[in-house]
Structure 1
Amino acid sequence: MTNREKEILELIKENPFITQDELAKQLNIARSSVAVHIANLIKKGYILGRGYIINKLDYVTVIGGANIDINGFPNKKLKLKDSNPGKLKISPGGVGRNIAENLSRLNINTKLLTAIGNDIYGKKIIEHSKNIGIDISDSLILSDFSTSTYLAILDEKGDMAVGLSDMEICEKIDINYIKSKKNIIEKSKAVILDTNLPQKTIEYITKNINNTFIVDTVSTAKTVKILNILNYVHSIKPNIYEAEILSGIKIENKKDAEKAVRNIINKGVKRVFLTMGKDGILCADKNKTIYIKTPKIKVINATGAGDAFTAGIVLGYLNNYSLEKTAKISIAASAITLESEGANSEQLSKENIENKLKEMKL
């Protein structure tokens, strides 16, 4: 969906009886252009024919963290315990929110259930979500909590040297809130969870709501939250350290990695995508294990690459792609994001994923 189509769709959502002349006037474009955009929205399934009936049937729900990212980029080699000349970039972030943005850029209708403060950062997230087509209308907006913030200092290679997060507000995404949104979650085509959620909330969702769950482990410290619900998980994307926690197997080589992945599958997970950095991807389901070598990628910012990978997994599930194809499009989505300064890339699209696959010869 183009930015202009998103603007038109938002106006139609606000007023389903708005005319094409009124749309043209509000957007300061020709009426004929409005007609073309509406025709495209109908073709893409966002509007169901005449009368501007919005298609609300097919969507995924992301439940997780949303915050403001503050990323620091040093001009030269990073010196710890010293002031480094460089530049700072402030943008919406958070694992759940990042995944939701990536899904929206892939033309997947996406609802985000998160918690933000009624402050300047929270308003920035709301505005940004509206601009890129994320439905955030059912999220919590709290006056007595600040929007969570994530600070990352990157090294000269674009890898994170140190990060600090203030995500206390995520504790408010509790069971009572989830119960109030249960109908929305159950009607989703898939549910994506990140482990910034309280453990009790994760366990309640997976055990009491009938759906397909795709989980982002976020970090080693938070991976432990899902040890008791692996049999409810369809797909998961751990790194080596997170896979060690999930499997109980120390990973020192490829053979160990294969054992760990099979162990996680045996615990009930349908698909595992073990990311091993420059050493590639090991993916598995109950029938097979596949190793995919990843080509060298120029890294500008490693933050958010995993979230793009998770969005690729969701895209693969929704389109019933094979294990291998799902892994490859996820790698391509991740590569596009690695080449961006932000945690999300404006270049992420289905078309650019296909182009990246050809470029990477995957």
Structure 2
Amino acid sequence: MNLPPSVLVIGTIFIDCKGFAWKNYHSFTRNLGNIQFVHGGVGRNVAENLANLDVATYFASSIDATAIGKEVVERLHKSNVNTDGLFESKQLGMGMWLAILDEKGDLAGSISQMPDLTLLQELISNKGKEMIRQSTHVALELDLNFQIAHSVIQLAAEEKKPIYGVPGNLDVILNHRELLDHLDCFICNNFEADLFFELNFTNLTTAQKLESLIQFVDRTGMGSMIVTLGEKGAVYYNPQTKEVGYQPVFPVKLVDSSGAGDAFFSGTVMGLVRGLSLKEAVICGTKVAGWTIESTENTCLDLPNKIKNDEFFIKLK
């Protein structure tokens, strides 16, 4: 009997300080605007998104044993995220991200403070096998450190669990590209693809992008790959099914572009774990990213209602 999909998300929690410029943003002078503190982190964003997309979600991360940490946990609980895999620490369990958004909602500058990753490394070392056994799929933030990424990928292979990867700061996977070979699906953006493909991927035509994507994936052992192109959509390729194509974006009103990549990853993973084709999963990812772009948060908290009223999602049921 096939079990319903359940995803173990392994990644970070951040608290984001976001500044939204009211008028044209100038980097060398004072700018009036609005400042907000919001919950973030690639792992946290993905876990909340998946749970709000009605996927059973188990989250493994480290978190501060503080009032803010408690607030993060309470919000995850409201989305029905299983937080039994959170490792509490007195300090540096969570990271911080300082972000400035220009008048259009695009990221103008940022500074990131990483959490102490040895905490999550210890959690994976002690409970990783058990957590992976309890889930049908694994979603991994790849750029934690090599030890975490290597251990999780190895454990997922031993337990025969599909694993989906999303990059963070790129330091780990650019130095250990062999990690990509073991992923069932890898999703990155066009600027990251410039580095992975070692060419000016961003400025290629769509046809050239697809050709480069096919060549890159065929040289590896990964199951499939998707490259997001910002407002220009996404390209995708699955060497097993030979699905290859381009997906444009849907019309949205840009409020805040941060979190869009995590949202795309979440929507796509939701589709894949439910057995959709890569093309259908990419449409799911594109829609979830669009809804997130229209929110000031890093995630769209109205996802349950969005998918209930969206024609494409309704047809999937």
When the two structures are superposed, what TM-score results if normalisation uses the length of structure 1? 0.78
**Greater strand content:** 2
Partner of 1:338 in structure 2? 293
Alignment-derived partner of residue 51 in structure 1: none
* Counterpart mapping for 1:281-300 below 5 A: 281-286=234-239, 287-300=242-255
Shift of 1:195: 2.6
With 157-166 and 142-151 compared, the bigger mean Cα shift is at 142-151
Q: Which has the higher contact order (CA 8 A, sep 6+)?
A: 2
Identity over aligned residues, as a percent? Answer: 23
Q: Deviations over 1:117-168 (max 9, x none)?
A: 2223222211211222111122111114353111111011111111111113
Partner of 2:222: 269
Counterpart-to-counterpart distance in 1, 2:75 and 2:251:
32
2:259 counterpart of 1:304: yes
1:257 partnered with 2:212? no
Residue 81 of structure 1 aligns to a residue in which SS? Answer: coil
Counterparts of residues 16-165 of structure 1 (less than 5 Å): 58-145=5-92, 147-165=94-112
What are structure 1's unaligned runs of at least 5 residues? Answer: 1-55
| Runs of 5+ consecutive residues of structure 2 not aligned to the other structure | none
1:321 has 2:276 as partner: yes
Q: Could you tell me which residue of structure 2 aligns to residue 168 of structure 1? A: 115
In the alignment, the residues of structure 2 paired with residue 353 and residue 322 of structure 1 have an alpha-carbon distance, to the nearest angstrom, of 20
Structure of higher CA gyration radius: 1
- What are the equivalent positions in structure 2 for 1:162-241 lying under 5 Å apart? 162-174=109-121, 177-209=124-156, 210=159, 211-221=161-171, 223-224=173-174, 227-241=177-191
Query: Which deviates the most, 102-111 or 193-202?
Result: 193-202
Query: Aligned in 2, Cα 1:331/1:79: closer, same or farther, shift over 3 Å?
Result: same
Distance of aligned partners of 1:279 and 1:198 in 2 relative to their CA distance in 1, 3 Å threshold? same
Residue identity in the other structure for 1:245: L
1:246 paired to 2:192:
no
Secondary structure at the aligned position of 1:181 is classed as: helix
Cα deviation code 1:61-100 (max 9, x no counterpart): 0000111111111111111122211111212110010000
Which of 294, 298, 303 is matched with 1:348 structurally? 303
Greater shift after overlay, 283-292 or 96-105?
Answer: 283-292
Change (3 A) 1:177 1:230: closer
Shifted more, 199-208 versus 169-178: the winner is: 169-178
Q: 1:105 to 1:226 in 2, by over 3 A?
A: farther
Q: Which moved more, 1:94-103 or 1:218-227?
A: 218-227
- Secondary structure at 2:310's aligned position in 1? helix
Amino acid at match of 1:336: W
Question: Would you say how many aligned residue pairs link Structure 1 and Structure 2?
Answer: 303
- Structure 1 residues 357, 71: CA separation in 2 closer, same or farther (over 3 Å shift)? farther
Are residues 237 and 226 of structure 1, via their aligned partners in 2, closer, same or farther at CA, if it must alter by over 3 Å? farther
d(CA) in 2 for partners of 1:353 and 1:225? 42
Q: TM-score, normalised by structure 2?
A: 0.88
Matched letter for residue 60 of structure 2 = L
CA distance in 1, matches of 2:142, 2:108: 22
